[in-house]
């Protein structure tokens, strides 16, 4: 369902706090409704202003346009049925991209999703064939020297996105790609620096997926390459309130983990934890305080192979 995936990816890009698009509608001074990542009325105001600037809308109509187009905005951002004539079409997608001055990379990725029947291209979910069988990966040809993992939890208490900043060192003479692994279904992997996503997201083993990333420049043995890439999540079920990272692949990398919480969904308690294995309870945990940006952070220098480190949190009880 390419249009549905394009609509979902569009909403995630507009909501990403690290991209300029969110700042455009957020600067209007309106916050999203509780449980939503976007203020759609503000998104509509940005589009209306663009239509006025391009002489497709009269000045007198600008203020009323977002309310008049409320249903259209909802269908575009929710991912309406492809057979619906009012679903996100190519013209509407272009209008969003123009109004928010989206980068050429994001335009190309959204269009690739829109045109794809499976939604699995540069941005996309695993294709059906890759869901049915596991991929055979070659031996790992690199290791991480430094990693910053930033996990963003949205207003709906679900993971919104995950950004990885990483320095890798080649263990072979001609390193051309790495594999980004993750244990949750996602709608998109966007490589912002150092490489490009290549091919479909693949199922590595039960509950673990991978996205090949081709480096901009091959690395000789001992050379370093810097990468930044973002994973956009689409959970169909309620995920556990935690973020974990395995210590097996890069036990000696300097690793910093940060979990950022939305101001409308601040947890009651956050704990730094160490898990002995994926399917076991924490071996140790300690309560941590959030900083002024509603974030929890910890730096790890040596990770035990087989163990996991990270955070878990609990939400306030409903009143």
- Is-contact 12 161, C-beta < 8 A? yes
Neighbours of 275 (CB within 10 A): 22
> What is the average pLDDT score of the chain?
82
pTM of the model: 0.66
Angle at 134 between CA 228 and CA 122, to 5 degrees: 35
pLDDT of 118 reads 41
pLDDT class of 305 with cuts at 50, 70, 90: low
Strand 269-275 versus strand 308-314 pairing type = antiparallel
pLDDT greater at residue 299 or residue 165: 165
Among residues 73, 17, 18, which one has the least CA distance to residue 42? 73
**Other CB atoms within 10 Å distance of the CB of residue 107:** 15
pLDDT band at 131 (very low <50, low <70, confident <90, very high): very low
Contact assessment for residue 184 and residue 211, using Cβ atoms and an 8 Å cutoff: no
Burial of residue 80, with CB atoms counted within 10 A of its CB: 0-12 exposed, 13-18 middle, 19 or more buried: buried
Q: What percent of the chain has pLDDT over 70?
A: 82
User: What whole-number distance in Å separates Cα of residue 222 and Cα of residue 140?
Assistant: 14
What is the mean predicted confidence (pLDDT) over 238-248?
83
Secondary structure letter of residue 59 according to DSSP = G
- Position 132 confidence tier, pLDDT thresholds 50, 70, 90: very low
Integer Cα distance of 179 and 197 in angstroms: 10
Q: How many CB atoms lie within 10 A of CB 135?
A: 17
Cα–Cα distance list, 211 to 21, 146, 195, 229, 231 (Å):
25, 20, 12, 11, 10
Q: What is the pLDDT of residue 33?
A: 65
pLDDT at res. 319: 60
Q: What is the DSSP code string of 197-231?
A: E-S--EEEETTEEEEEEEEEEEE-TT-EEEEEEEE
Query: pLDDT tens digit string along 193-218?
Result: 999 988 778 888 777 788 899 999 99
CATH code 2.60.40.3140 region(s) in the chain: 142-314
Please state the rounded mean pLDDT for residues 152-165. Answer: 88
Which CATH number is 142-314's, of 1.20.810.10, 2.60.40.3140, 2.40.160.50, 3.90.1720.10?
2.60.40.3140
153: β partners: 159, 261
Q: What is the mean pLDDT of residues 143-158?
A: 89
| Neighbouring C-beta atoms of residue 203, cutoff 10 Å | 19
pLDDT confidence of residue 125: 42
Range scoring the smallest mean pLDDT among 23-37, 75-89, 118-132, 148-162 = 118-132
Q: What is the mean pLDDT of residues 222-229?
A: 95
**Which residues share a beta bridge with 169?**
143, 224
């Amino acid at each position: 369902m390419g249009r549905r995936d394009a609509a979902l990816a569009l909403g995630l890009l507009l909501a990403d706090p690290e991209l300029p698009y969110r700042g455009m509608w957020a600067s209007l001074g309106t916050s999203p409704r509780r449980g939503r990542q976007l203020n759609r009325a503000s998104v509509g105001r940005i589009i209306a202003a663009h239509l006025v600037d391009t002489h497709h809308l009269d000045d007198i109509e600008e203020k009323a346009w977002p309310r008049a187009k409320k249903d259209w905005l909802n269908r575009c951002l929710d991912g309406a049925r492809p057979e619906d004539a009012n679903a996100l079409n190519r013209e509407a997608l272009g209008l969003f991209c123009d109004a928010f001055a989206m980068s050429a990379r994001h335009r190309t990725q959204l269009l690739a999703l829109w045109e794809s029947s499976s939604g699995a291209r540069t941005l996309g979910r695993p294709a059906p064939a890759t869901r049915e069988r596991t991929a055979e990966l070659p031996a790992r040809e690199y290791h991480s020297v430094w990693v910053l993992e930033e996990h963003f939890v949205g207003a709906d208490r679900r993971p919104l996105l995950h950004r990885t900043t990483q320095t890798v060192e080649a263990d072979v003479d001609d390193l051309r790609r790495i594999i980004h692994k993750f244990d949750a279904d996602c709608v998109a992997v966007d490589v912002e620096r150092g490489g490009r996503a290549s091919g479909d997201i693949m199922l590595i083993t039960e509950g673990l997926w991978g996205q090949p990333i081709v480096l901009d420049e091959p690395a000789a043995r001992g050379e370093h390459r810097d990468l930044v890439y973002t994973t956009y999540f689409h959970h169909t079920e309620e995920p556990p309130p935690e973020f974990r990272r395995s210590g097996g692949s890069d036990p000696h990398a300097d690793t910093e983990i940060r979990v950022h919480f939305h101001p409308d969904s601040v947890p009651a308690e956050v704990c730094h934890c160490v898990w002995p294995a994926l399917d076991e309870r924490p071996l140790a945990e300690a309560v941590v305080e959030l900083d002024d940006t509603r974030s929890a952070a910890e730096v790890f220098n040596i990770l035990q192979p087989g163990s996991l480190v990270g955070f878990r949190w609990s939400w306030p009880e409903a009143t």
